[in-house]
Amino acid sequence: MKVLFRKTKELESQIDDYLDIVDRAALIFVQGLKFYFENRKDEFEQRYHDLRAMESKGDFLRRDIENKLYVHTLIPEFRGDVLSLLEHSDTVLNRMAITLLNFSIENPEIPEELWPLYIDLAKAASSAVENMVKAVRTYFRDLSAVRDYINKALFYEKESDKIAEKIKRQIFQKEIELSRKAHLRIFAHHIELIADDAEDVCDRLAIATVKRHE
């Protein structure tokens, strides 16, 4: 972050810490779902609570960063872009926590033959988030590398679309109640939206990067 934040090491460190939280949350999300499908409910619930704690810590950090950017009038020409990137990264973090919350509350009975596809979907979404985080980091450090990570994040977002579609097609081919089909589809959609949110961050990041080049 040498280019934008020469004046304050504290802010540089806080943004790194925030991005670390989002990155780790994506790993915990996948681990939590694996525990859910393995019927290790106590461990699943622990991962859910871990994720909620990280979400709270992330919210606190983000607000503190936003306050410093305004109070100290740092990078006024790019401040709006930085705030937008942080706020929409927070949407990704919140989406992961809410998705595990929905699993915890609704306890969907997903057919065992679909478990691997749901896990693959979670992994694709997590990879999209991981590369989104790398792209945001490089925005502060090395603009020339941003595009590579954006492209990787978008690749995994497209993969998540393909896997989600496959899950939905298999669900609606099953001879089960329509209400249950709809329930199972919603949970695939929840996971898919994580990758969609990561794509949204990358779209905003691409525009912010062009503005930095101007």
**CATH number reported for the structural domain that contains residue 79 in this entry:** 1.20.58.220
Q: Using pLDDT thresholds of 50, 70 and 90, give the confidence band for residue 146.
A: very high
Q: What is the pLDDT of residue 69?
A: 79
Average pLDDT over residues 35-54: 96
In a domain, 31, yes or no: yes
User: Residue 107 — left, alpha, or beta (φ > 0 → left; ψ -120 to 50 → alpha)?
Assistant: left
Distance CA 140, CA 123 (A): 26
* Average pLDDT of the segment spanning 103-116: 96
Per-residue pLDDT averaged across 134-146, rounded?
91
Residue 80 lies in a domain: yes
Q: Is residue 2 part of a domain?
A: no
pLDDT for residue 2 is more than 50: no
Tell the burial category of 211 from Cβ atoms under 10 Å away from its Cβ (0-12, 13-18, 19+): exposed
Instruction: Give the residue-averaged pLDDT of 32-60.
Output: 96
Question: Does residue 98 lie in a domain region?
Answer: yes
Q: Say if 4 falls within a structural domain.
A: no
What value does the mean pLDDT take over residues 181-198?
97
pTM of the model: 0.92
Mean predicted confidence (pLDDT) in 198-212: 92
62 in any annotated domain: yes
pLDDT band at 1 (very low <50, low <70, confident <90, very high): very low
Mean pLDDT of 45-54: 97
Residue 143 pLDDT class (50, 70, 90 cuts): confident
- Structure confidence by residue, pLDDT tens digits, 163-173: 999 999 999 99
Work out how many domains the chain is built from and give that number.
1
Q: Which domain holds residue 32?
A: 9-213
Transcribe 72-109 into DSSP letters: TT-STTTHHHHHHHHHHHHHHHHHHHHHHHHHHHH---
Residue 46 lies in a domain: yes
pLDDT at 80: 82
